[in-house]
């Protein structure tokens, strides 16, 4: 790789990392090309990018984007997974893939401003997906309102029943 190619790669990496909400650093040593392709396919379906990078370029990219705490993880063969979308989906796919492919090793990550360990990446993977969490929040907001409407409707319902009983007695 000549200097110009390295500069372009570094620029692309920095642009990608600056917009990311989560980054996970992995070691892919020992994975077959077909396995890496399968992992990329799974990640791409959830708008997660998986990129094999040289450690020197990743180090420069991390330092210039404020992720310098990830630099110690840049040993051996390094690939990074990053997304500007659902961080939970990224973690889930990597952890699930790690269970069936021991050669993919999680090293650590970054989540919206905080460095996380590989154990925290695994904990993140246990969370429900974004859609499920949003549905729970919506249900939590809607429940008190629905209960309030039922309380308000109670006296009206009792009045209607009482009037119906009066009508039946007069008939």
pLDDT in tens, the chain (171 residues): 778 888 888 888 888 888 788 889 888 888 889 989 998 999 889 888 898 888 888 888 888 888 878 888 888 888 899 888 888 888 888 899 888 888 888 888 888 778 888 888 888 888 777 777 788 888 888 878 877 888 888 888 888 888 888 888 887
pTM, entire model: 0.70
- CB under 8 Å to 17, separation ≥6 — which residues? 23, 61, 62, 65, 67, 82
| pLDDT of the residue at 41 | 92
φ/ψ region of 32 (left if φ > 0, alpha if ψ in -120 to 50, else beta) reads beta
Neighbours of 78 (CB within 10 A): 22
The secondary structure of 15-83, three-state, reads HHHHCCCEEEEEECCCCCHHHHHHHHHHHHHCCCEEEEECHHHHHHHHHHCCCHHHHHHCCCCEEEEEE
| pLDDT of the residue at 55 | 85
Q: How far apart are CA 49 and CA 5, in angstroms?
A: 20
Please name every residue paired with 50 in a beta bridge, in sequence order, or none if there are none.
81
């Amino acid at each position: 790789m000549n200097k110009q190619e390295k500069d372009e790669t570094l620029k692309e990496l920095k642009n990608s990392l600056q917009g990311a909400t989560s980054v996970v650093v992995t070691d892919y040593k020992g994975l077959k090309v077909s396995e890496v392709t399968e992992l990329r396919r799974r990640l791409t379906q959830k708008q997660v990018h998986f990129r094999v990078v040289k450690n020197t370029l990743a180090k420069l990219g991390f330092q210039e984007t404020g992720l310098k705490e990830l630099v110690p993880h840049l040993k051996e063969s390094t690939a990074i997974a990053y997304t500007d979308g659902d961080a939970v989906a990224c973690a889930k796919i990597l952890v699930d893939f790690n269970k069936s492919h021991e050669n993919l090793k999680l090293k650590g990550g970054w989540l919206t401003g905080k460095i996380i360990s590989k154990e925290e990446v695994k904990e993140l993977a246990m969370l429900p997906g974004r859609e499920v969490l949003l549905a729970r929040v919506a249900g939590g907001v809607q429940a008190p309102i629905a209960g309030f409407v039922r309380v308000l409707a109670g006296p009206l319902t009792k009045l209607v029943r009482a009037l119906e009983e009066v009508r039946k007695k007069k008939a």
